[in-house]
Amino acid sequence: MSVTHAAGFAAAGVVAGLKSTGKPDVALVRNLGPSTAAAVVFTSNRAKANPILWSQQVITDGIVEAIVLNSGGANCYTGAFGFQTTHATAEAVGAGLGISAGDVLVCSTGLIGVGGQDFRDKLLAGVASAIPALGVGGGHDAALAIMTTDSKPKEAVVEGAGWSIGGMAKGAGMLAPGLATMLVVLTTDAKLDPGDLDSALRHATRVTFDRLDSDGCMSTNDQVSLLASGASGVTPSLEVFTAAVTALCADLAAQLQADAEGASHNISIETINAASEDEAVEVGRSVARNNLFKAAVFGNDPNWGRVLAAIGTTSAQFDPYDVDVTMNGVRVCRSGEPDEPSDAVDLTPRATHVLIDLKVGTATATILTNDLTHDYVHENSAYSS
């Protein structure tokens, strides 16, 4: 049910012909209120798609009535025409729902450079058919319509005391920090103001989506939106609500990792005893971005030397000759020397755990990534053809 699980939301997912496969490609989510508070986190890529430029303006007042999303084209690097298309899309939603276009978030995903006349025509026709299709049971349809190379929709729900949060996500490649490539819509019937929603969402994305680094590539279109209808009439404490949003985002992030393009391993890189959380993240990310290590995991090869070579490139505090590395429970390196035999490491399970003990401080962080596989190369060499 995802985005229509919480009270006060309707959604739809329709076929607009943007995808050559004929599958659903336009989603619409409407906040029925009584509240229309919202918060959004955007990609940190300086090359921002037109929907990002638009949505950044929409969220300035913390009010969102609806969000419209399409797959089948990123509308990025499409010039003034592309921005006008985004604007026209929000106008069409606004006119159809009797709300201000300035309260309509827009998200697009697909190939960069796609956003011409044909894209505009199909997208606007999709909006026209999505509006009458809106329903309180439409969450799953919406989740289907935002899929790109995803093999399955991603949905999750967290229940509070008298309130709940639901969410949907798409993302399969170009997963990287700030954010992973993803479109995420979270909806809650809790009653919170935009400032609290923003605080909760920023904390949640920082420790979940921002630590999912599947392939080191950062998207131009990432957007995570949190809409609150207030329909439950309940205002949870910010602490409780933040924990719930974080749990929901962690669930969706794990689903994104599990469905990353071509991956055969879900790798968790846990760095412990770092001087700071930032340094733990830096160390984990250096390993998550090391193609040699990721190819080795694909081959079920516990090549821990590549872990050490990767963390040697960071500026984190540690003694390179006093580091322990444990893979799937086997400590293969102790204080910079070979320890248990690598042969004892079983990398055949999809879940792979790498534990790096820096022996410096008390901070920890876990980065989620995937292996580098033949299928990853195949999918990404054939994506636009």
Q: Residue 227 is which amino acid?
A: L
Residue closer to a second copy, measured from CB, 175 or 248: 175
Which residue ranges make up the site for a second copy (CB under 8 A)? 45-48, 74, 76-79, 111-113, 116, 173-174, 215-220, 289-292, 295-296, 298-299, 301, 303-306, 308-314, 320-321, 333, 335-338, 342, 372-374, 376-378, 380-385
Task: Give the C-alpha distances (Å, rounded to integers) separating 300 from 256, 338, 342, 350, 352.
Answer: 22, 18, 11, 10, 10
Active-site annotation holds for 181? yes
Q: Which is nearer to a second copy, 233 or 320 (CB)?
A: 320
The answer to whether 5 and 157 are in contact (CB under 8 A) is yes
Task: Write down the least CB distance from residue 170 to a second copy, Å.
Answer: 17
Active-site pick, 4, 86, 181, 187: 181
Dihedral angle computed from the Cα positions of residues 272, 245, 145 and 180, in that order, rounded to the nearest 10 degrees = -30
Q: Is the Cβ of residue 94 or residue 284 nearer to a second copy in the bound state? A: 284
Bond before 212 cis per omega within 30 degrees: no
Comparing CB distances to a second copy, the nearer of 193 and 340 is 340
Q: What DSSP letter does each residue of 153-203 carry, written as one string?
A: -EEEEEE-SS-EEEEEEE--SS--SSS-S-EEEEEE-S---HHHHHHHHHH
Radius of gyration over every alpha carbon of the chain, rounded to an integer in angstroms: 21
Q: How far is 240 from 182, CA to CA, in rounded Å?
A: 25
Q: Which is nearer to a second copy, 252 or 372 (CB)?
A: 372
Residues whose CB falls within 8 Å of the CB of residue 131, separated by 6 or more in sequence, listed in order: 12, 28, 93, 96, 97
CB of 112 to a second copy, least distance (A): 2
Kindly state the DSSP code that residue 19 receives in the 8-state scheme.
S
Query: What residue type is assigned to position 78 of the chain?
Result: T
Work out how close the CB of 33 gets to a second copy at its nearest, in angstroms, rounded to a whole number.
36
Burial of 203 per CB tally in 10 Å (0-12, 13-18, 19+): middle
Map tokens 């392939």 to a residue: 215
- Of 151 and 291, which has the nearer Cβ to a second copy? 291
The catalytic site residues sit at: 181
